[in-house]
Amino acid sequence: MANITKKVSWSSRGDESGPAGEETPLLNGSEQSRPLTQVHQVLRSTLRGRPKEIPHNEKLLSLKYEVKPVASKIVIFSIIGSMRTSQCLIELIRASFLASLTHIFSDIVKFTEAGGLSISLILWVVLNCVFVMLGAIMVAFFEPIAAGSGIPQIKCYLNGVKIPRVVRLKTLLVKVLGVICSVVGGLAVGKEGPMIHSGAVVAAGVSQGRSTSLKRDFKIFEYFRRDTEKRDFVSAGAAAGVSAAFGAPVGGVLFSLEEGASFWNQMLTWRIFFASMISTFTLNFILSIYHNKPGDLSNPGLINFGRFESEVMEYNLYEIPLFMGMGALGGMLGALFNVLNYWLTIFRIRYVHRPCLQVMEAMLVAAVTATVAFIMIYFSTDCQPLGPDHNEEYPLQLFCADGEYNSMATAFFNTPERSVRSLLHNPRGTYNALTLGLFTLTYFFLACWTYGLSVSAGVFIPSLLIGAAWGRLCGILLTWADPGKYALIGAAAQLGGIVRMTLSLTVIMVEATGNVTYGLPIMLVLMTAKIVGDYFQEGLYDIHIKLQSVPFLHWEAPATSHWLTAREVMSSPVTCLNRIEKVGTIVDILSNTSTNHNGFPVVAQVSADDEPAKLCGLILRSQLIVLLKHKVFVELARSRLSQRKLQLKDFRDAYPRFPPIQSIHVSQDERECMMDLTEFMNPTPYTVPQETSLPRVFKLFRALGLRHLVVVDDANRVVGLVTRKDLARYHLGKHGLEELQLAQT
Amino acid sequence: MANITKKVSWSSRGDESGPAGEETPLLNGSEQSRPLTQVHQVLRSTLRGRPKEIPHNEKLLSLKYEVKPVASKIVIFSIIGSMRTSQCLIELIRASFLASLTHIFSDIVKFTEAGGLSISLILWVVLNCVFVMLGAIMVAFFEPIAAGSGIPQIKCYLNGVKIPRVVRLKTLLVKVLGVICSVVGGLAVGKEGPMIHSGAVVAAGVSQGRSTSLKRDFKIFEYFRRDTEKRDFVSAGAAAGVSAAFGAPVGGVLFSLEEGASFWNQMLTWRIFFASMISTFTLNFILSIYHNKPGDLSNPGLINFGRFESEVMEYNLYEIPLFMGMGALGGMLGALFNVLNYWLTIFRIRYVHRPCLQVMEAMLVAAVTATVAFIMIYFSTDCQPLGPDHNEEYPLQLFCADGEYNSMATAFFNTPERSVRSLLHNPRGTYNALTLGLFTLTYFFLACWTYGLSVSAGVFIPSLLIGAAWGRLCGILLTWADPGKYALIGAAAQLGGIVRMTLSLTVIMVEATGNVTYGLPIMLVLMTAKIVGDYFQEGLYDIHIKLQSVPFLHWEAPATSHWLTAREVMSSPVTCLNRIEKVGTIVDILSNTSTNHNGFPVVAQVSADDEPAKLCGLILRSQLIVLLKHKVFVELARSRLSQRKLQLKDFRDAYPRFPPIQSIHVSQDERECMMDLTEFMNPTPYTVPQETSLPRVFKLFRALGLRHLVVVDDANRVVGLVTRKDLARYHLGKHGLEELQLAQT
């Protein structure tokens, strides 16, 4: 008890809250308002180290300070969970809208039967194209980052890569409106990816307590205006999104962990789980009101795969190899999907980069989708009787006799979610084999063409639909079995083959079907699909991440990379700053586009001949910019106190849109001033010796969520700097370890 | 591609496989058989650093080498999963045994009704005492570590603390036989903790491919004979144990993560999940054969809480505050339980430390339990009619009229698992309030007295039973509600109040009841119970861990500890070794009981006046012992090659029972030899500067699974060493940060 001395440490607050704490520009509470002292004094303290004794009651103050964020956090995580409400409402509105649209289609067909089919086709195509055009215009012209499912972007964000505008309010709006347009426009898309993305945006927004777009600052939750905190909230939001979409709170937590969090933190996981649970709960509550059964909180998520009853869905040991065969097939089909989409994306990057071209392509896809569906339905002869046990809520009669419905139309013109459910649950004989085969084929190519368009659209449900269709086909061909079971396995195999998730997807599928019996088969299928698929091509999300040249760090260092040491990997020579540095030098370094690092080692004294100097600390570009903006200079010549005080608040207010260096005006006089970095730098950055192997460096980055790591020699002198890009360059290709050329962006 | 040079790095292999990689005494494959070179050469290489260029085809060799462990791992994880089989069988045998025992009891009572009740009581007490005596003798005399539930021990093991004999074959045997004796002996115990512990032991054993107790080495899986690998397997085994016990594969994974893994590793989690799934699957398969329905793989775990149907088990919004109130009550009762057990344990440590006393105490508890139960049943008037909807498999008539059964006897003389199920599911009016109240009261004190006896026994099921009883009581008093629902909430509250798990327990309860509807209420209840309970006293497992003086690291550094820096925390001065060190010095250092560290920094040159010297690497006590045992000495005087080659295998063979230093004989001549540590030490240990704050040091330990961290000054000279004990000393007490005095063991 007695021998614990309490000291002030500048970097201390940043340490307590998860990864990348070392990069946080925080000042310790007790010295926040201390004015900058005279240069002499600064220089003296520089020599003797800064920690000072402080009075005892500081501890109490600090304790109080700790409690508040925790309480706020719980509040925020609840809000995140329940803010999903808005999206649920949108979802319900859309569902009603869509139901009426299906009727319109039916009516169009009937109405125009007199006038000829061509008119009804044209009417339908035009209707679809208009919706898709609206969606595509929003995305292409206003917020291109809102295109696609958003999962690759969230993956990168959680991995620690800052992608601009991913979690902005504008992105959220475009995303939500865009996905409504895509789904209503009849494209082969799902809404799950966008839901997960928008969950993440809501979380990020709520946690900051302000909107920079709306220029409103509610002055709350200021504590969380830091990258690491925001990242925690984003992972909770993504989990809540999964939870609401699939009714899978545990699956949501595992999704966040599998895709994002590198540092397993119990409290964080607990909060994520809490947000997921609240999200499921809120959704259930709203759905119970919508279904006129308030209080019945046992509804699953928005996508209801229907409950599988154990009695009818038993499986036997001999079926497991069969399932694994289907897993392999799913892996191959998934790889084919990914290869085709890869080529398509390359083509798009080269030739379809103008917004108006993108809108036109989206409209073309919409027209083709509608036409193909129309033709398929027209030539389909798969009319099924409307029996008492049919599960269709909106059976489409179309060209069938009265009392029958067209099963091809059921597959094509329902929402994809409802089609999946009917494939999984409808009794034998609802679909014939030809219908399923043709549907699989056309939908496969349509979905492949659709993913990557400039519309807001997910790939989850289309994959499930393709898989369920060919899975049911397998089930029908193996005549003794229940086709619904095989449809489930096929859906898992196809989705696993495309996105290559395993752990979280197993749990999501188990939770969405409400039956743990299929846990092991689904797991084996997903594993097989991943192994087979990885043999040919990467997962779809990884392909898109790679095409965007993002320095994405995978879970482990590439095998065989232990031949490499930090010396080979690091960037060298590295731009260092002195503890007391001339303002002009700092401005020049920040303006220099070739030194585009975000962190700079601070050293004792940069020598003239570029000899390495002893490491003192690390300072971030954003910190330097805030310091310059507030002109925290000391003027050596006059040897007087600089009047400018800098507080914690100044750093938080600037977050997250730090101004570029060009916008900060520094006069010629000011360029001659000095800036004392000692008080603002992180005095104990993580370092490694030069001989450290790459896997070891990699582990530090992953476990601690670092962005820069200083490489020192055996006398603690700076010899280099390892950044995420340096690590992401190496990956295991077909010919062993390969080094990528990353774009200099 | 071209500019990647491949280098040999000694510590490389250790890096790839999870935390604590830096402590692994591994030699790189390519140089395994290289004899020690002449001293001059060594000294030269010492100066120039060791990495050397190696031919290109080494890479291929290395790739091949990587693949094998992965394949073996998958095999082992499958084996772990299915090895649970044996335990399932034991479980089934025990269940049948117990069923017959219940009948025996019934018969005894009837048989002796003529001869008077006292005889039947005595017979019953004697029968119970004999079983408990057997169990207690095994534990007290043969393997004291097998006492209790085993979860605290597994927690410590996964936390990185080596506890002797926790994962030995003998422990497993004593544990399994002991828990059978305890349950059959009628103690207020469960078998879940022991199942989890024995799952961990099976996993550890299988992964090593040998048994040191049986002196059999199967020469397989040699790759895994390292602490970090073994730890991974132990966590998989614990997860498989939970999975088999509760039918909760996801809960098992989360249990392992919550209690153990600090470094979130996707592959590891995936493997743990796989083992859990296989475990559930195997159990289901065996149960399906046992129930004469082979192929029906939809049985839940061994403890079947019964399926809650959503329709009858709805809850409403207004019930949530009620649930939280019950959570608070559970937290208080749990804290009371823990306080009582804490005092009892202190008493036991002081006065009941001799094995024969421990056996006698266990017998006393058995006798009292039997007597109390007998008296309660005798005076109970709660006779219920044997209706068509009664769920009891073994109704006990006892002192009731024909066609009725004694409901107090149902609560007392069934297995605790069955009692829980009947409390959760039986319709209204099965139990009256007085029965439940009395039962709660007596069982609470009996369970509290029982936990901590020298018998193998868990606290999970007794807690659930107590909670279910008072929960059902609440349900009955609130007359409008279904009592089963309140029993479930009460069970969760009581268990949460005692063990203070939250995340994993929520998922386990959800999976065990097969209904996700109760996820949110259970979560809220567990959270409330934890918060209320923590206000009074720590969790039961944490109390027992603390009483054993284990340097256990919690998830986060204590709040307010950022005042402390590495300088205050570290042990200093630290014993360092030279790169080329005299054998005599090493033997003396290892023999010296005051320097009981397990890792020693290796420095360039220890100066005479204890000035800090420059850090070169870190070497472990176990490595030094293996080196001494194999006499890897270089004789400076004769300047000739030492003939002794040391291979990777030598380190693996010695694992995990490294001989004590006293058993290694070093002659006086040999003491004069030198030992070259350069080739065996870890050349790039993790280091921190002296000013690093405690939370930062803590984060490094937790994220990387370290056991020692070298503290250096700004010229990279060793000034101290931080160990787990140094960190575990600090914790947040009622009066702020407190420093514990740890026993010097």
DSSP class per residue in A476-510: HHSTTS-HHHHHHHHHHHHHHHHH---HHHHHHHH
Q: Is residue A249 part of a domain?
A: yes
Per-residue pLDDT, B298: 58
Q: Where are the beta strands (DSSP E) in B324-445?
A: 383-385, 404-406
Q: Is residue A224 part of a domain?
A: yes
Whether residue B245 sits in one domain with residue B172: yes
Write the CB contacts of B145 (distance below 8 Å, at least 6 apart in sequence): B153, B163, B164, B165, B166, B171
- Give the CATH number of the domain where residue A133 resides: 1.10.3080.10
Q: Is residue A273 part of a domain?
A: yes
- Give the CATH number of the domain where residue B599 resides: 3.10.580.10
Q: Is residue A375 part of a domain?
A: yes
- Which of A239, A274, A290 is the endpoint of a domain? A290
What pLDDT, in 10s, does the model give residues A257-292?
Answer: 877 655 556 777 778 888 888 887 777 777 777 776
- Which of the four pLDDT bands, split at 50, 70 and 90, describes residue B343? very high
Q: Is residue A128 part of a domain?
A: yes
Whether residue B525 sits in one domain with residue B404: yes
Rounded mean pLDDT of B105-122?
Answer: 63
Whether residue A359 sits in one domain with residue A251: no
- Which of the four pLDDT bands, split at 50, 70 and 90, describes residue A238? confident
Contacts of B564 in chain A (CB under 8 A): 4, 6-7
Q: Cβ of A432: how many Cβ atoms within 10 Å?
A: 17
- Check B16 against A559: CB less than 8 A apart: yes
- Specify the higher pLDDT residue, B735 or B686: B686
**Does A265 contact chain B (CB < 8 Å)?**
yes
Rounded mean pLDDT of B661-668?
Answer: 77
Is it the case that residue A71 has pLDDT exceeding 50? Answer: yes
- Which of A275, A290, A305 is the endpoint of a domain? A290
- Specify the higher pLDDT residue, A169 or A24: A169
Distance CA B697, CA A15 (A): 9
- Check B516 against A520: CB less than 8 A apart: no
- Specify the higher pLDDT residue, A698 or B5: A698
Write the CB contacts of A97 (distance below 8 Å, at least 6 apart in sequence): A184
Whether residue B189 sits in one domain with residue B129: yes
Whether residue B725 sits in one domain with residue B636: yes
Per-residue pLDDT, A363: 92
Residue B682 dihedral angles phi and psi, to the nearest 5°: -85, 115
**What does DSSP assign to residue B30?**
G
Rounded mean pLDDT of A212-223?
Answer: 58
Per-residue pLDDT, A357: 92
Whether residue A579 sits in one domain with residue A543: no
Per-residue pLDDT, A69: 53
Per-residue pLDDT, B347: 92
CA distances from B735 to A60, A63, B559, B560, B739 (A): 10, 11, 12, 12, 11
Is it the case that residue A84 has pLDDT exceeding 70? Answer: no
Per-residue pLDDT, B647: 60
- Check B564 against A249: CB less than 8 A apart: no
Q: Cβ of B379: how many Cβ atoms within 10 Å?
A: 10
Write the CB contacts of B35 (distance below 8 Å, at least 6 apart in sequence): B641, B642, B643, B645
Which residues 593-622 of A are in CB contact (within 8 Å) with B? 614-616
Maximal C-alpha separation, chain A: 97
Distance CA A367, CA B101 (A): 75
Rg (CA), chain A: 29
Which residues 541-560 of B are in CB contact (within 8 Å) with A? 555-557, 559-560
As a whole-number percent, the residues of chain B with pLDDT over 70 amount to 66
Alpha carbon A107 to its chain's center: 41
Per-residue pLDDT, B64: 38
As a whole-number percent, the residues of chain A with pLDDT over 70 amount to 66
Q: Is residue A260 part of a domain?
A: yes
The A577-578 sheet, strands edge to edge: A577-578, A599-603, A615-620
Whether residue B455 sits in one domain with residue B341: yes
Q: Cβ of A542: how many Cβ atoms within 10 Å?
A: 18
- Which of A251, A272, A290 is the endpoint of a domain? A290
Whether residue B727 sits in one domain with residue B652: yes
Per-residue pLDDT, A476: 86
- Which of the four pLDDT bands, split at 50, 70 and 90, describes residue B529? very high
Residue B191 token pair = 């078998």
Q: Is residue A424 part of a domain?
A: no
Domain of residue B735 covers: 561-739
Per-residue pLDDT, B11: 34
- Which of the four pLDDT bands, split at 50, 70 and 90, describes residue A299? low
Is it the case that residue A224 has pLDDT exceeding 80? Answer: no
Long-range contacts of B732-739 (CB under 8 A, 24+ apart): B732/B558, B732/B559, B732/B560, B732/B561, B736/A59, B736/A63, B736/B560, B737/A4, B737/A59, B737/B558, B737/B560, B737/B561, B737/B563, B737/B564, B738/A1, B739/A1, B739/A3, B739/A4
Per-residue pLDDT, A343: 94
As a whole-number percent, the residues of chain A with pLDDT over 90 amount to 11
- Specify the higher pLDDT residue, B339 or B157: B339
- Check B273 against A688: CB less than 8 A apart: no
- Which of the four pLDDT bands, split at 50, 70 and 90, describes residue A639? very low
Whether residue A648 sits in one domain with residue A579: yes
Q: What mean pLDDT, rounded, does chain B reach?
A: 74
Is it the case that residue A149 has pLDDT exceeding 70? Answer: yes
Most confident of A295-304, A380-389, B36-45: A380-389
Contacts of B273 in chain A (CB under 8 A): 503, 506, 523
Distance CA B601, CA B556 (A): 27
Residue B364 token pair = 């006393």
Q: Is residue B632 part of a domain?
A: yes
Whether residue B348 sits in one domain with residue B227: no
Whether residue B585 sits in one domain with residue B730: yes
Whether residue B707 sits in one domain with residue B600: yes
Per-residue pLDDT, B33: 34
What pLDDT, in 10s, does the model give residues B239-281?
Answer: 888 888 887 888 888 888 877 655 556 777 777 888 888 887 7
- Which of the four pLDDT bands, split at 50, 70 and 90, describes residue A456? confident
Contacts of A22 in chain B (CB under 8 A): 696
- Specify the higher pLDDT residue, A312 or A191: A191
pLDDT-wise least confident of A87-101, A159-173, B177-191, B244-258: A87-101
Distance CA A183, CA A189 (A): 6
Contacts of A51 in chain B (CB under 8 A): 565, 691
Per-residue pLDDT, A309: 59
Count up the domains in chain A and report the number.
Answer: 3
- Which of the four pLDDT bands, split at 50, 70 and 90, describes residue A168? confident
The residue with tokens 């998730």 is A501
- Which of the four pLDDT bands, split at 50, 70 and 90, describes residue A333? very high
- Check B274 against A523: CB less than 8 A apart: yes
- Check A297 against B278: CB less than 8 A apart: no
Most confident of A18-22, B166-170, B246-250, B614-618: B614-618
Residue of B nearest to A64 (CA): B560
Is it the case that residue B30 has pLDDT exceeding 50? Answer: no
**What does DSSP assign to residue B703?**
H
Distance CA A684, CA A675 (A): 20
Distance CA A264, CA B694 (A): 19
Which residues 637-696 of A are in CB contact (within 8 Å) with B? 683-684, 687-689, 691-693, 695-696
What pLDDT, in 10s, does the model give residues B620-664?
Answer: 888 888 888 777 666 554 444 444 556 666 666 666 666 777 777
